[in-house]
Amino acid sequence: MMKLVLTIVQDTDAENLLEKMTERGFRATKFATTGGFLRRGNSTILIGVEDDQVGRLMDTIKANCESQQIEKLANAYIGEKAFSLCGATVFVLDVEQFHRF
């Protein structure tokens, strides 16, 4: 069965990740998105893979998307806070059919 891997990464990691995925034979579609909390730019990457490729793809994503520590965020609602942004959020979905025309 095919999987759709929906990956949300920071813009700073997106191009490098796409390059590494392409080198490893993965095909992907990227589009720009914006996160809700910080309103920072993200990239959402859609990748269709066979079941047995998911592990290799996850290794590639993990190796190329880094968490970032944000030292201070000045915000009227939460004050100044330090926190981390994750490197990637990944959803793996079953795909009943896949067609390429």
pTM for the whole structure: 0.79
CATH tag, 2-95: 3.30.70.120
pLDDT tens-digit series, residues 23-62: 999 999 999 888 666 666 789 999 999 999 999 999 999 9
What is the per-residue DSSP string for 42-96? Answer: EEEEEEEEEGGGHHHHHHHHHHH---EEEEEEEETTTEEEEEEE-SEEEEEEEES
Domain assignments of the chain as residue spans, ordered by start: 2-95
